[in-house]
Structures are given as structure tokens and as C-alpha cells.
Amino acid sequence: MNFRSLTLRFSLIFLSLAGLVFLAKGFAGLPPLGPFFSPSQGFWHNSAVNLSPKNRGQMELEGLQSQVKILWDESGIPHIFAESDRDLYFAQGYLEASERLFQMDLITRVGSGQLAEWVGDRGLDLDRFFVGLGLRQAAQKALGVMMADEKTREALVAYSEGVNAFVDSLDYKIYPIEYKLLDVEPGRWSPDRTAAFLKMMSFRLAGLNHDLDLTRALQKLGADRVQQLFPDFVEPIEPVIHEGLGGPLAQAGGRAGPRDSNPQEVFVSAFNSFPDYFNPFRENGSNSWAVAPERSQTGRSLVANDTHLGFGLPGNWYELALVSPSQSVYGVSFAGTPGVMIGWTPSVSWAVTNGYSDVLDWYEVEFKSEDSSEEYYFEDEWWTTESFHEVIVSRSGKEIFLEQAWTHQGVVMHRQGKLGLVARWVPHRGSNELKTFLELNRAKTYADCRSAIQHFEAPSQNFICADQSQIGIFHQGRFPVRKKGQGRYIKDGRSKRSDWAGWLSAEELPRLESPQSGVLRSANQRPVTENFGNYFGWDFPPSYRARRISQLLDVNGTNTFSAQDLKQMQLDNLNLHAQAYLPLMLEILGAENSHSSLSPLSRKAAQKLGGWNYLDLAKSVEPSLFFFWWRNFEDLLWTPHLGERQDTLFPNLQRTGSLVAAVWQDKNHPDNQ
């Protein structure tokens, strides 16, 4: 046997042995794939098994106290009929687990800092972040409040029992395929996992924060330039509350300036490991609108809602109907939470969009010792922190111990020498948002809807309430009393003047009921005008979507609408941003270059854009041309002054457009400096 043949045989034997080891034990943090390919239990069996009750006929489930019926309509939507609320939520838990168990399991693991238990050391950074942000403590506080309420406790316990009834029905052979891929077991459900899920949703919807970005820009450019590029209000404003201000105002008084001392560079570097975590779903947005009876062709209120939480497989929402002697509701839930989150009862409808108000502030604090977080300096005294000992466990067996300290302002997320960085976040509070939805599911009148949303604290949301005769919109949540500009930058945690000055009362929250225009609309835009006495933050999505909805609703007119009209509005694709600034860009292009310096391909693109009708159609190339032209234009404009897009914050597209327009119209404009 020659050397080459011997080498080949040895290589084949080695690869075979390595393959067997990989199948049996995994490699480099990857799970073993032997069970996944097992002929007797592997993934082959998943295609032959459908775990949904839809395909299993009549079933007997241990734990149900009476008969439950689930009917699927022609669209495949389940309608659950139960003789008690307890059995209703039990059945909902079982049904949602049968179709979304892995999704439920995964997102609660992420929020509670247990991802590394599944994926190994590669999940440790994410676990550290969410544990460090205090989501475990926040979930436990919320759990205590929810379990103290009889209705929410009943729903949480019954829902958990339903999920576990499904989990208990599984053996490895019929595990959802994701568990086989990861070689892990499904986790049992409990009320604390629903609490973790709700806090994770708070982060997804209220975790957007740019205090660090603005603080870095402040150091580099100065307060005046930062205020110019990132103003509190960008014209034109199209506020949610477009008539009046809806009640008395909390006057915090004055304007907060930049913090007194410059933050240490170490805090800037500390954020380099997780800046993207504080930008969840930045490019997404939801819309809602309502038409009062006097502007409805049916003589009754009409409500529309389309929510955009990002693409996912499966999607974020679970559509269903819940019917018991106490309720009859149709809409969408989050798998992992009992009840319906958005929907309608026979006489009441509600719609929800993310409020985007800033409810996360940062403080620089000073500790007594470099080696301890036990005492911190505040108003000429040494205060004592509250400490928690947290453990993060990896699949590899590694354990990470975190000593988490809380000041009266919030959780300490970073230490360097005697200084620390503290995050104060409204969702850290114990609250009972689930109570809002369970009461909405039973609502019979507009007043019931209005009463139900009073329990909702975080994340801030725009709620539309409507019954047959009345509509109203509420910027709902728990909001600190703050001066204009307070919370834009990292603040000095040593001084009381940096603290929040209490909370807005329910009567002070922005709202608009029975509008004179007969219409309401929300598209995540700024909730109020600059005249409102309290500060909700500066970084709201541009007003283009809201302005387009206002145009379609004929806010200042008298047009009436049908349900079909509202459905058609949801399909509208006019690009107001392009309509506002593309003509200007083409004008500048022509004046500066006369197209002479452009390549033939660029000239062709400019000509094509010149004939665009501003409709974002799937078959049209113009929307993509404009998108990438604008994006490249922003990069060329801002990168020399602010840094690369991925490392910094650019002014939003509406502000960029207004600055360019002002400079082009007046070469001596102050914005040209």
C-alpha cells in the first residue's frame, strides 16, 4: 500500500471519528446533531406530526374544569369557547404553546438573561446586558403586582397551566424542531415568564435611547450645534393631540441645560459594547386612526390599526377570539400572555401604537470607594445602594456572578474607579399592564376602555378608544415631570436638580376626546406641541406618516368614510419624504452639475426619478433609487462631522431635509455655517 493511499485512509478514519464525536457531543459550542438525525426520534418525525389541536379532534386535557370548544374559521383563526375565564385562559395557553412554544421560550430566556443556557458562551454578552439593565428585578416587581390582583393572578396561573399541559404531552420524538436543532428541552411555563415577556416587550418598545450619542456630540460640537442638528421639535409638527391639549398641564418650569461636568471618556467606551441594544426597532412604526360617527358613512365609529413590530418567523401576533360568560373579544395576543392585546368586543374597539416617549435617563454617580458600590454621593451625603447577587449560567458550565447595585435613581450599569453610570428607566417599576388588557377584553362602553388603560404604565403607548358613539386618543404611560430638554444628556447624579420631579397625574396626560374634526390618528409621531408643559423627549419618528394619514382623513374637511375607505388607506404608499425633497435634490443636482459630470447610468437614474409619481410600488425601481441616493447623501453630509453611521447618530431625515432646503434657499443662512 503506497503512502498516498495510506494517508487517504487515515484521513477518512479521522474524519469519520470526528463526525461521530460531533454527532455525539457537538463541537466549538455547537450542539450535538446525533439526536437530530436519529432515525427513531430525529427531525424526520416532525413532518409527520402536527401538534395543533386543530388537527387532533376531540381531546381530554387534565386540568380543564369544564368543556372547551375551539372552532377554526375559514381563515384558520381559532375561536375559543369556555364556560369560565379560568378554562378560557388554560385553553389559550395550550393552543398558543402548540404553535409558538419555541418563540415563547426563546424571548423570555433573552429577557431574563438565560440565553447562554441554550447557546453557550456566545450568549453571555446579551445575558449580561439584560441582567445588567435590571430586567430580572423589573419582572419580579411586576409579578408581585400582578399576582396581588385576583383577576390577573387567575389568568396568569391558568395560562401557565395550559402551556404546561402541552409541554407535558411532549416527548423528544415530537419536540418542535427548533429544540432538536439546539438539543435542548422545552421549558415549563410560570407567571414569572409572562412577567419577563412583558418587560422584554417594554424594552423593545421603550428601549430606544440616545443620551450617550448626544453627550458625545456635545463634547465634540458644543451645545448650540447639537441643538441645531438635533432640536426638540422639527417642523412641520403633526402632533397626536392635534386639537387643544386635553387637560391641565404639569409645569416643570424652565429648560434643562447640558450637565455641569463633562462625562468621563470611559463611559463612552463602556457603551461601545452595546450601543445597538438601545436601538430596538428604530426603523419600524405603527399606525392607527379613528373616525367619529358624524364622519362615518355607517353612523358609527370606525377604527383602523396596523402595527409594525418587525418581521419575524413566526410573526409577533397571534390572532384569535376568546369567549366566556364574562367576555367576547376578537383580536391579537402576544403568545406568552393571556388575553387579547389589540381588538374589539361587541361594543368597544381599541387600537395601539408605540408612544416613543423617552423614559430612560442616565446619571453619572460617584461612589465612596473604587472597590465597592455600597455607598454613593448625593446632596452632600453618602447614600446606601440596594444590592442583588445575580448568576448567569452558560451551557458550557461557566458561571458568571454579577453584583448589581441600585441607587435611588436606578441600576448601576458600569463602574470605573469611583464613578458609575446609572440607568433610570420607567419599566423598572412594578406595574400591571396585563390588567389593562383583561379589562379591555370585557369592555362594554367607551368609559370602560378609558378606565382600563389607566393601569397601563410602560411602555408608553397611544391608545385609541371607541364605542358606537364616541372616540378618543390617549398618550398613556407613567411619565416623569421634566423640564424641557431634561434627559437629553448624561446627567450629574450627585445633584437633586437632575432627578425627576415626580410623575404626571392621570389628569395631566395628553389626550383628545370627541375631536371637533371627527377624526383621530397616530403614527408614533410627537404626542404634543411645544406648548405642552412637560418634556417627553426629542427623538420621535418624522411626521410623514401622520401627515399622510391626516391628508387621507381630510382632517380639516367634512368628508365621510366607510370601512372600505379605511382599509384602502392602509394600502396607501405615497412617499411624502420623497415628494418633499426629491425635487430639491434634482434641482441642486442640475444646478451644480448640469448633469455633465454624471455617468450615463447616473443621468438615466436622475431622469427616471424626475418622472416618478412618488408611489412606493413593488414593481418600481424609483423607490430604491431614491432610498439609496438619500442614504448615500446623508453619509457624505454627516460622516465628516459626526463619524460613521454605524458609530454615531445622524439627524433624522426630516431634519436633514429642512437644513438642506434652508441652506439652498439662502446661501447665507445660519444653518450653512
- CATH number for the domain that contains residue 394: 2.30.120.10
Q: Is the pLDDT of residue 251 over 60?
A: no
- Give the residue with greater pLDDT, 309 vs 63: 63
What integer pLDDT is reported at residue 309 of this predicted model?
Answer: 81
Residue 256: predicted pLDDT: 66
- pLDDT band per the 50, 70, 90 thresholds, residue 22: very low
Q: Is the model more confident about 25 or about 421?
A: 421
Q: Which pLDDT value is given to residue 263?
A: 54
- Counting other chains too, the contacts that 645-651 makes at CB distance below 8 Å and 24 or more residues apart are 647/275, 648/213, 648/216, 648/217, 649/210, 649/213, 649/214, 649/217, 649/230, 651/229, 651/230
Is 411 within a domain? yes
Looking at residue 380, its pLDDT comes to 94
The angle subtended at Cα 655 by Cα 553 and Cα 537, nearest 5°, is 80
Q: What is the mean pLDDT of residues 172-192?
A: 93
Mean pLDDT throughout 318-344?
Answer: 98
Judge whether 159 lies within some domain: no
User: What are the phi and psi torsion angles at 437 (to 5°)?
Assistant: -70, -40
Q: Per mean pLDDT, which range of 13-17, 143-147, 152-156, 666-670 is the poorest?
A: 13-17
Taking the C-alpha atoms of residue 212 and residue 279, their distance in angstroms, rounded to an integer, is 12
Say what percent of the chain tops pLDDT 90. Answer: 69
According to DSSP, the residues that pair with 327 across neighbouring strands are 324
Give domain status of residue 377, yes or no. Answer: yes
CA 563 to the chain's CA centroid: 29
pLDDT, position 330: 98
CA distance 298 to 288: 19
| In a domain? residue 231 | no
Above 80 in pLDDT, residue 11?
Answer: no
Read off the C-alpha cell for 218. Answer: 456635545
State pLDDT tens for residues 145-175. 999 999 999 999 999 999 999 999 999 888 9
Residue 640 belongs to domain spanning: 576-672
The C-alpha angle 138, 141, 147, rounded to 5 degrees, equals 135
Give the mean pLDDT of the chain: 88
* CA atoms 388, 389, 392, 393: torsion sign: negative
Last residue of a domain, one of 393, 427, 461: 427
Does pLDDT of 613 surpass 80? Answer: yes
In the structure grid, which three cell numbers stand for residue 72, read together? 377554526
Q: Band the pLDDT of 416: cuts 50, 70, 90.
A: confident
* Cα distance between residue 673 and residue 669, in whole Å: 8
- Looking at the predicted structure, is the pLDDT value of residue 269 above 80? no
Residue 649 placed within a domain: yes
Q: Decide if pLDDT at 476 tops 50.
A: yes
- Structural contact between residues 85 and 326, judged by C-beta atoms closer than 8 angstroms: yes
Residues 113 and 348 sit within 8 Å (Cβ to Cβ)? no
**Above 90 in pLDDT, residue 553?**
yes
* Residue 405 is assigned to a structural domain of this protein: yes
427, 445, 477: which is the final residue of a domain? Answer: 427
Query: What's the average model confidence in pLDDT over 349-375?
Result: 95
666 has a pLDDT exceeding 90: no
Q: Does 140 have pLDDT greater than 80? A: yes
pLDDT at position 262 over 60: no
Reported as a single tens digit per residue, the pLDDT across 641-653 is: 998 888 788 999 9
Domain boundary (398, 427, 456) is at 427
Comparing CA positions, the residue from 297, 242, 288 lying closest to residue 516 is: 242
pLDDT at residue 230 is higher than 90: yes
pLDDT at 329: 98
The model's pLDDT over 502-516, given as tens digits with 9 standing for 90+, comes to 999 999 999 999 999
Per-residue pLDDT at 260 exceeds 50: no
Residue of 219, 242, 239, 223 whose CA lies nearest to 231: 223
Q: How many domains does the chain have?
A: 2
Q: Give pLDDT, residue 427.
A: 97
pTM score, whole prediction: 0.91
Q: Which of 110-114, 278-282, 338-342, 530-534 has the lowest mean pLDDT?
A: 278-282
Query: Residues 104-120: pLDDT tens digits?
Result: 999 999 999 999 999 99
Q: Has residue 277 been placed in a domain?
A: no
Q: So what's the pLDDT on residue 246?
A: 53
34-83, pLDDT tens digit by residue? 565 555 455 545 554 566 677 667 888 889 999 999 999 999 999 999 99
The residue-averaged pLDDT of 548-557 equals: 94
Residue 521 has pLDDT above 50, yes or no: yes
Q: What is the mean pLDDT of residues 468-492?
A: 94
CA gap 429, 9 in Å, rounded: 65
Contact yes or no for 83/66 (Cβ under 8 A): yes
CB 663 within 8 Å of CB 671: yes
For residue 133, being part of any structural domain is answered with no
- Model confidence at 20: pLDDT above 50: no
